[in-house]
Amino acid sequence: MLNLKIRSLCLTAGLVVAMAASASAADITGAGSSFIAPVLSKWAEGYKAATKNVVNYQSVGSGAGIKQLLDKTIVFGASDKPMSDADLEKNGIAQFPMISGGIVVSYNIAGVKPGELVLDGKTLSDIFLGKITKWDDAAIKALNADVKLPSAPISVVYRADSSGTTFNFTDYLAKVSPEWKEKVGSNTAVEWPVGFGAKGSEGVSTTVNQTAGSISYVEYSYVVANHIGFAKMKNAAGKVIEPSLDTFKAAASNADWANAKNFNLIITNQPGEKSWPIAASTWVLLYKKPADPALNEEALKFFKWSYEHGQKDASALSYLAIPDNVAEVVEKSWKKDFGTK
C-alpha cells in the first residue's frame, strides 16, 4: 500500500514537473535595449493578463542583446541601433521598428530645477569633449541668462556598456559638431574624452541622482521615474523646446518607414520647429529560420498584440507607438521574412 502511495506521489510530481516544463517552454525570452524596457515590460504585463503567455525581457543594453541573439540564447533581441544590411543577411536575421521616443540630457545641478537648463548641440558637444568644465562657463550662461548657475565642476557620466542610446546620442553630436565627428564619432560604444561610466539606463539614472554637478543622457521615461533634472534643447530649427510626447512625435513624423530598406532609419536632428533633436527608435531582431519556429511565432503574436493594444501604455510613458499604417507594413514584411499567414 505504501509503495502504491509513493508511486502515486512520484507520478503526480512528475506530472507537475511536466506541466511546469510545458508552461515554461512557451515563455518568450528577449534581451537588449534599456530604452524600450519600461514600455516593453508594461506590454508584457498586459499580454500575460490577456493571454496567460509570458514574455521575459532583460534590459542589458543593445549590444549585449545582439550578442545574446547571435549566441542563440534568446528568442528576440532589441536594439536602438539597427543592424546593417550586411549583418542581417549574414546572420539570417530580420528587424522591424517597435517604438520611438526621446533621449534627454539629464543633470544634477544645485539650485537648478528640472527643465530650467537650456543647451544647444555645440555647447553639449563641448561639455562631452571636455572643453567646457564648469557649470558657469560663458557658453552655458549665454543660453541661460535667467538661471543661477554654480561655479562647480561638471561631472560627465556616460553609458559603460554597448548601448543604442549611446549610438543615437553620439549620432546627434556628430551631426551638430564636426569636431565630435572627427575625434569621437558615433557608435554603441566610443572612446569618451572625459567622464566615467555607468551600466544601463538604470545605472546612469542612479549615478546622476547621486552625483552633484553631473550630466548625462538617458531615455525620457527614466528621467521622469527618477525625478532627475532634464535640459531643454535648441533644435535644428533654432527653437528652444522641451522633451515631450509632442516634440518626440514631431521628430518621428519625418520617418518614412515604408520606404526604408530593412526599416533602417535614424531620426536624430530632424527638421521642424517642434522636433526634439535626440529622438530615437528601437528595433526588434528575430531569426528568419530559428531552431524553434514555434517560439518565433509566439514572439510575433506578442509584437502584433503590442502594436494593436499597446498604444495607451506607450503614450503614458511618453513613447510613440508605431502608427497603424506602419504596423501594417511591418506585418506584411513578416510574411516574407518569417512565412506568417
Tell me if 7 is assigned to some domain: no
Tell me if 261 is assigned to some domain: no
Tell me if 271 is assigned to some domain: no
243 and 106 share a domain? yes
146 and 233 share a domain? yes
139 and 229 share a domain? yes
pTM of this prediction? 0.90
d(CA 242, CA 239): 10
CA dihedral 193, 279, 281, 184 (to 10 degrees): -20
Q: Locate cell 532627475: which residue? A: 228
Grid cell in block for residue 229: 533634472
DSSP-assigned letters across all residues of 4-42: HHHHHHHHHHHHHHHHHHHHHHT-EEEEE-SSSHHHHHH
Tell me if 190 is assigned to some domain: yes
38 and 69 share a domain? yes
Cα separations in angstroms, 12 against 1, 8, 20, 64, 137: 16, 6, 12, 40, 72
188 and 288 share a domain? no
- Domain that includes residue 150, residue range: 102-254
Per-residue pLDDT of 148-188, as tens digits, reads: 999 999 999 999 999 999 999 999 999 999 999 999 999 99
Tell me if 16 is assigned to some domain: no
Q: Does the structure show a pLDDT above 50 at 4? A: no
Per-residue pLDDT of 263-275, as tens digits, reads: 999 999 999 999 9
Rg (alpha carbons) of the chain, rounded to whole number: 22
69 and 211 share a domain? no
Tell me if 19 is assigned to some domain: no
220 and 292 share a domain? no
Tell me if 85 is assigned to some domain: yes
The terminus-to-terminus CA distance of the chain in angstroms comes to 55
Total domains in the fold of the chain? 2
